[in-house]
Amino acid sequence: MGGHNGGDEEASLPLFETEVSKGKLAYRVYAVTVLVGICSIWVYRSMNIPTAEEEGRWAWIGMFMAELWFGFYWIITLSLRWNVTLRYPFKDRLINRYGDKLPAVDVFVCTADPGIEPPTMVISTVLSVMSYNYPPDRLSIYLSDDGGSEFTFYALLEASHFSKHWIPFCKKFSVEPRSPAAYFAQNSNPKDTTVPKEWLDVKKLYEDMNCRIESVIEKGGTSKDIRDQHKGFLEWNSEVTKQDHQSIVQILIDGRNPDAVDDDGHQMPTLVYLAREKRPYCPHNFKAGSMNSLIRVSAEISNAPIILNVDCDMYSNNSDAIKEALCFFMDKERGHMISYVQYPQSYDNIANNDIYSNVRSAFNKIELSGMDGCDGAPYCGTGCFHRRESLCGVEFSRNYRGELNSLCNTMKDSSVHELEQGSKVLANCSYEKGTQWGKEMGLVYGCLSEDLITGLRIQCRGWKPVYYNPERKAFLGVAPNTLDLAFVQHKRWGQGMFQIFLSKYCPFIYARGKIKLGAQMGYCVYLLFAPNSVALLNYLIIPSICLLRSIPLFPEVSSLWFLPFAYVYAARNACSIAEALACGETLKAWWNSQRMWLFHRMTSYLFAFIDTITGQLGFSQMAFSITPKVVGNDVLKRYEEGTMEFGTSSVMLTIIATLSLLNLFGFAGGILKVVWGYGIAEGLAVQIGLCLVVVVINLPVYQALFLRDDNGRIPSSLEKQFVEFATVLILAVLSSLQQEVSGIRFVIDREECFSHNVEYAMDTVHFSFVVIKSEGAWHYSPDGVDLVVKGPSGEQIHDFRDKTSEKFQFVAQKNGLHRFCFTNKSPYHETIDFDVHEAHFTYHDEHAKDEHLKPLLEQIARIEEALYNIQFEQHWLEAQTDQQAIVNEGMSRRAIHKVLYQSAALTGAGVLQVYLLRRLFERKLGMSRV
Ligand SMILES: O=c1ccn([C@@H]2O[C@H](COP(=O)(O)OP(=O)(O)O[C@H]3O[C@H](CO)[C@@H](O)[C@H](O)[C@H]3O)[C@@H](O)[C@H]2O)c(=O)[nH]1
Ligand SMILES: [Mn+2]
């Protein structure tokens, strides 16, 4: 850069700079080596898939699918780190050049529910943006209240009074942050001891205000005294409810009014309350709908060319943030192309090593900057400055100059009443009918991630976004601090993002040729979170089950093929640890993030996947579940201690616990095999290692299941439900893989005998049969049959008379051929399902003495038993369905192998079960819906 020795030169200096981050070459080398590793894994996998006769073919295919997917997915993630760029604005240059010609800025704050977004929190955010270091005559603040609540209105009215003290106080003492709640929480005593009085006065005013607001909410309504304070309360008659009310627009402070001054006699920013019209028959499109109303209403009142939007919990943490953002928009060279400036979403309630992994520093510090490097910084819904034109759907054109400084005073001359009346119409339900709002204009409707899709569309119109991550955080919000809340949030994100991928806006199609390939890939990294979870499930389930069944899935440790697996795993993790540490995280926080990464993929994104698919098929409707911003003291205490709050969502916990237990079983089983030299331990080493990793990551789950006794543990009522579900699930999967499943279906005329060779004496022989149907079409209920079971030397073991179904087990006294003879006494042909199964435990004799192992062995035996039960139940089910089915004329006398059919049915049943439970759970969690 040149020197600072002339006014002209100074005037031509850029207002911001872009710098490419270091370490690009190292990353690219690393990427190539990992890619080689991934390709070797693919080669190994495809070369070694067992043939149809060998065991584990399907497991191998499942693993191969997952690995193909992960490889593809990893390739698209490369885009996020290929070209990481950092931005540096020069605020001082901006002030020198445009000090008195700064453009007007409209700030939108969205709230939706006074119950889970307390009005006192909302007004703290409002106050923080009212007191920006920015000319107040060019600043207007709009609060959109989707809750249509008079409490929120009352709180905002109180805030408008308090701001007359708060704004001058902030400016006089350079207070930071300017959210009174955050400021007083951080400073319980005056910093500057020479002015204790002023400090204490403001604090008292603030506390008194909060008390008044809280007491009104507690009483459940406003008193006449309060209602008399402002005409706006007249809008709340007895018919107004959250879902059904007219538009309400109240200008609480009119910035043009010379009497609207603060304690020091300075002008105040404009402050507007908006509750757009809500009607039960009219879709309100959640936050996107509220943003679009805000765009129109603000256009009527102040029409600033720059819009900042924040969520109600995202207070401003840097009073100069507007000026920094303007550096981008007002740069001579590139400013006119810039559509929005996105700040990262950071939080002020992060405790103790970030157990719920909300900080996401690699995402904020590296990935988003990497997207920015491809000109593809996403719009994240909050903490974002927009150019009004680009947000309203205007296409970028080469001739566009977008001079912001010429538009500084846009306020109209109309009276407050006129403005209110004029803008109410714009917030009506009917206003958007037949217009392009929600399609070509404003935020896009129909998607739970309205932000991402809107940003993508703006970029496709030729605008360039900017991502700016300053040292001092510009905005701080409330992070979800229980597992339930984190789950609600990530589920919504996962669903919204996958919706985009499946829609016409899929970046690879919609954005092709419009934005860089890197940006398309970068978007898809997030849009594919949901399907990615399905691939991960393969990796969580298959290796442990195959371990239990001694099916090796990975190369032996001594084989050369082991290297690519080990390298890819180690390199990926080393890279992610290095990133976390470089971003200033602790090792513990990194470890915690691994757990949450796993949890979200086992639950939130999996459900997001299911819901998106069912949504696409038209089975379910989407709903924006707002994340509550406050939790109980008890819960808060555990959060601060860093103890995970497992909470109440049964399905989520069930799945997490099931998969954790499955891997624990797998690991324990694998170790036993090594200890006893039973099976092929060598080939199973990688699987044992994999299970161990999952087990160690999930230690808090076992703890919450079995050891903890506080309220944040997995509730004991759930425990039983979970144990049952877990068993069924594990068994279902196991049984679908069972090779010995040997249902035989045959038609019996008079007598039919089967023999089964019992290999070892003292084995337990299980068998079952179900009479499915009789030949005659008029003959509905099947008659019973007789069954005689005989041992090898002809001795009778059992004898059943006239049974339609039976299940039994006996211990074979001798090995050799056992005979099962059925007799049909009815005049009709009958169809029978018959099943024999022999349970053999070698370790019965060898290890029976070991007291510690015994319970485990019993457990295993019980699982085996339960497995058999499932099969039996299935026969039963089938039998019942088949009774109604077609006549059995064409049915062959020979056995019909049903393994495939069975596993399909079981998988289907499993999915259905998850889906149904999920529905149940949604009701239970009581998520607030608007
Ligand atoms: O019908 C609605 C629903 C929500 N909101 C507001 O939207 C904001 C975001 O909701 P929140 O429950 O806090 O969701 P988060 O998961 O924190 O939101 C992130 O993800 C959303 C998309 O899923 C984005 O819209 C948000 O800006 C982004 O902060 C809040 O201010 C709500 O008041 C509305 O105004 N109207
Ligand atoms: Mn939020």
Residue 116 CA, ligand 2 centroid: distance in Å: 11
pTM: 0.80
User: In a mutational test of the pocket of ligand 1, which residue from 476, 624, 631 has the highest number of ligand atoms less than 8 Å from its CB?
Assistant: 624
Q: Following DSSP, what letter does each residue of 801-850 receive, concatenated? A: EEESEEEEEEE-SS-EEEEEEEE--SSS-EEEEEEEEEE--THHHHHTT-
- What does the pLDDT read at residue 232? 96
Q: Is the CB of 290 under 6 A from ligand 1?
A: yes
Q: Is the CB of 930 under 6 A from ligand 1?
A: yes
- What does the pLDDT read at residue 789? 92
Which candidate in 451, 484, 833, 835 is catalytic? 451
809 or 323, greater pLDDT: 323
Q: Is the CB of 624 under 6 A from ligand 1?
A: yes
Residue 288 CA, ligand 1 centroid: distance in Å: 9
Residue 897 has pLDDT above 70, yes or no: no
Residue 917 has pLDDT above 70, yes or no: no
- What does the pLDDT read at residue 4? 47
> Which residue, judged by its Cα, is nearest atom 23 of ligand 1?
449
* Most confident range, picked from 516-525, 834-843, 887-896: 516-525
- What does the pLDDT read at residue 438? 95
H or E element in which residue 274 lies: strand 270-275
Pairing of strands 830-839, 744-748: antiparallel
The bound ligand whose nearest atom lies closest to the alpha carbon of 499 is 1
* Tokens describing residue 621: 């409707």
d(CA 45, CA 39): 10
- Residue (of 347, 317, 284, 587) closest to 486 by Cα position: 347
Q: Is 569 left (phi over 0), alpha (psi -120 to 50) or beta?
A: alpha
Residue 372 has pLDDT above 60, yes or no: yes
Closest ligand 1 atom number to CA of residue 488: 16
Work out whether the CA dihedral 483, 487, 489, 494 comes out positive or negative. positive
Residue 864 has pLDDT above 60, yes or no: no
Give SS3 for 433: coil
| Residues 717-726, mean pLDDT to the nearest whole number | 62
Q: Is the CB of 379 under 6 A from ligand 1?
A: no
H or E element in which residue 58 lies: helix 57-82
- Please tell me what DSSP assigns to residue 238: T
Which range (488-502, 592-606, 757-771) has the least confidence? 757-771
Closest ligand 1 atom number to CA of residue 496: 23
Whether 166 and 199 have beta carbons less than 8 Å apart is answered as no
C-alpha triplet 663, 665, 666: angle, nearest 5° = 60
Q: Is the CB of 762 under 6 A from ligand 1?
A: no
Q: Which residues contact 20 (CB under 8 A, 6 or more apart)?
A: 83, 84, 85, 86, 373
Q: Is the CB of 146 under 6 A from ligand 1?
A: yes
Q: Following DSSP, what letter does each residue of 514-572 receive, concatenated? A: TS-HHHHHHHHHHHTHHHHHHHHHHHHHHHHHHHHTT---S--TTSTTHHHHHHHHHHH
- What does the pLDDT read at residue 409? 54
- What does the pLDDT read at residue 562? 95
Q: Is the CB of 451 under 6 A from ligand 1?
A: yes
Q: List pLDDT tens digits, range 583-608.
A: 999 999 999 999 999 999 999 999 99
Give SS3 for 108: strand
The bound ligand whose nearest atom lies closest to the alpha carbon of 486 is 1
Closest ligand 1 atom number to CA of residue 452: 22
- Bridge partner residues of 835 (DSSP): 768
d(CA 565, CA 139): 57
CA distances from 610 to 164, 579, 599, 603 (A): 51, 32, 16, 10
Residue 111 CA, ligand 2 centroid: distance in Å: 10
Q: Give 476's pLDDT tier (boundaries 50, 70, 90).
A: very high
Phi, psi of 574 (to 5 degrees): -60, -40
- What does the pLDDT read at residue 347? 95
Closest ligand 1 atom number to CA of residue 144: 35
The residue written with tokens 């891997």 in the block is 663
Residue 320 annotated as catalytic: no
Tell me the three-class secondary structure of 667-713, residue by residue.
Answer: HHHHHHHHHHCCCCCHHHHHHHHHHHHHHHHCHHHHHHHHHCCCCCC
- What does the pLDDT read at residue 783? 72
- What does the pLDDT read at residue 411? 61
- What does the pLDDT read at residue 626? 85
Q: Is the CB of 449 under 6 A from ligand 1?
A: yes
d(CA 281, CA 244): 9
Residue 474 CA, ligand 2 centroid: distance in Å: 15
The reply, when asked if residue 775 is annotated as ligand binding, is: no
CA distances from 438 to 147, 278, 288, 433, 443 (A): 21, 16, 8, 10, 6
Which candidate in 146, 320, 484, 611 is catalytic? 146
> Which residue, judged by its Cα, is nearest atom 16 of ligand 1?
489
Q: List pLDDT tens digits, range 300-318.
A: 999 999 999 999 999 999 9
Residue 90 CA, ligand 1 centroid: distance in Å: 31
Residue 520 CA, ligand 2 centroid: distance in Å: 26
Residue 445 CA, ligand 1 centroid: distance in Å: 14
* Tokens describing residue 73: 């997915």
- Residue (of 682, 667, 637) closest to 856 by Cα position: 667
Phi, psi of 635 (to 5 degrees): -65, -40
| Residues 874-883, mean pLDDT to the nearest whole number | 55
The reply, when asked if residue 117 is annotated as ligand binding, is: yes
> Which residue, judged by its Cα, is nearest atom 1 of ligand 1?
286
Which range (217-221, 400-404, 657-661, 926-930) has the least confidence? 926-930
H or E element in which residue 342 lies: strand 338-342
| Residues 899-924, mean pLDDT to the nearest whole number | 44
Closest ligand 1 atom number to CA of residue 626: 12
Of all residues in the chain, the percent with pLDDT exceeding 90 is 59
> Which residue, judged by its Cα, is nearest atom 13 of ligand 1?
627
Cα 212 to the center of its chain, rounded Å = 37
d(CA 80, CA 19): 16
Q: Which residues contact 158 (CB under 8 A, 6 or more apart)?
A: 123, 209, 212, 213
Rg of the chain in Å (alpha carbons): 34
Q: Is the CB of 114 under 6 A from ligand 1?
A: no
Q: Is the CB of 358 under 6 A from ligand 1?
A: no
- What does the pLDDT read at residue 633? 86
The bound ligand whose nearest atom lies closest to the alpha carbon of 490 is 1
Averaged confidence pLDDT in the chain: 85
d(CA 479, CA 486): 8
Residue 111 CA, ligand 1 centroid: distance in Å: 8
Whether 665 and 544 have beta carbons less than 8 Å apart is answered as yes
Work out whether the CA dihedral 875, 878, 880, 882 comes out positive or negative. negative
Residue 146 annotated as catalytic: yes
Pairing of strands 785-790, 816-823: antiparallel
Residue 265 has pLDDT above 70, yes or no: yes
Residue 115 CA, ligand 2 centroid: distance in Å: 14
Residue 243 has pLDDT above 70, yes or no: yes
d(CA 355, CA 639): 8
Residues in the chain: 930
User: In a mutational test of the pocket of ligand 1, which residue from 110, 345, 481 has the highest number of ligand atoms less than 8 Å from its CB?
Assistant: 110
ipTM: 0.98
The reply, when asked if residue 763 is annotated as ligand binding, is: no
- What does the pLDDT read at residue 649? 63
- Bridge partner residues of 834 (DSSP): 744, 769
Q: Give 751's pLDDT tier (boundaries 50, 70, 90).
A: confident
The b/e string for 390-426 (b: 16+ C-beta within 10 A; e otherwise) is bbbebebeeeeebebeebbebbeeeeeeebbeebbeb
Q: Following DSSP, what letter does each residue of 150-167 receive, concatenated? A: HHHHHHHHHHHHHHHHHH
The bound ligand whose nearest atom lies closest to the alpha carbon of 293 is 1
Helical ranges in 220-349 per DSSP H: 224-227, 286-301, 321-329
Phi, psi of 247 (to 5 degrees): -70, 140
The reply, when asked if residue 372 is annotated as ligand binding, is: no
Closest ligand 1 atom number to CA of residue 492: 23
Q: Is the CB of 820 under 6 A from ligand 1?
A: no
Q: Give 740's pLDDT tier (boundaries 50, 70, 90).
A: very low
Q: Give 516's pLDDT tier (boundaries 50, 70, 90).
A: very high
Q: Is the CB of 117 under 6 A from ligand 1?
A: yes
- Most distant CA atoms of the chain, gap in Å: 114
- What does the pLDDT read at residue 658? 82
Residue 624 CA, ligand 1 centroid: distance in Å: 8
Q: List pLDDT tens digits, range 157-203.
A: 999 999 999 999 999 999 999 999 999 999 887 776 677 788 999 99
Q: Look up residue 554 and give its amino acid.
A: F
| Residues 488-507, mean pLDDT to the nearest whole number | 94
Residue 918 has pLDDT above 50, yes or no: no
Q: Give 887's pLDDT tier (boundaries 50, 70, 90).
A: very low
Angle between helices 119-130 and 150-173 (to 10 degrees): 40
| Residues 528-540, mean pLDDT to the nearest whole number | 95
- What does the pLDDT read at residue 146? 97
- Bridge partner residues of 887 (DSSP): none
The b/e string for 578-589 (b: 16+ C-beta within 10 A; e otherwise) is ebbeebebeeeb
* Most confident range, picked from 774-788, 810-824, 849-863: 810-824
Residue 736 has pLDDT above 50, yes or no: no
- What does the pLDDT read at residue 780? 54
CA distances from 390 to 305, 737, 770, 918 (A): 10, 55, 69, 40
| Residues 682-697, mean pLDDT to the nearest whole number | 92
> Which residue, judged by its Cα, is nearest atom 9 of ligand 1?
311
Residue 859 has pLDDT above 80, yes or no: no
Q: Could you count the other beta carbons within 10 Å of the beta carbon of residue 722?
A: 23
- What does the pLDDT read at residue 249? 97
- What does the pLDDT read at residue 672? 76
Work out whether the CA dihedral 549, 552, 557, 563 comes out positive or negative. negative
Q: Is the CB of 452 under 6 A from ligand 1?
A: no
Q: Is the CB of 492 under 6 A from ligand 1?
A: yes
CA distances from 775 to 660, 716, 880, 887 (A): 49, 50, 15, 7
Query: How far apart, in Å, do the first and last CA atoms of the chain sit?
Result: 53
> Which residue, judged by its Cα, is nearest atom 31 of ligand 1?
311
- What does the pLDDT read at residue 760? 80
Helical ranges in 376-426 per DSSP H: 388-391, 416-426
Cα 482 to the center of its chain, rounded Å = 13
Q: Is the CB of 486 under 6 A from ligand 1?
A: no
Q: Following DSSP, what letter does each residue of 729-786 receive, concatenated? A: HHHHHHHHH-S----EEEEESSEEEEEEEE-STT-EEEEEEEEEEES-TT--SPPPEE
- Residue (of 602, 676, 632) closest to 842 by Cα position: 676
- What does the pLDDT read at residue 334? 93
Q: Is the CB of 536 under 6 A from ligand 1?
A: no
Q: List pLDDT tens digits, range 120-154.
A: 999 999 999 999 999 999 999 999 999 999 999 99
d(CA 284, CA 247): 13
| Residues 625-630, mean pLDDT to the nearest whole number | 84
Residue 616 CA, ligand 2 centroid: distance in Å: 26
The bound ligand whose nearest atom lies closest to the alpha carbon of 444 is 1
User: In a mutational test of the pocket of ligand 1, which residue from 292, 626, 929, 930 has the highest number of ligand atoms less than 8 Å from its CB?
Assistant: 626
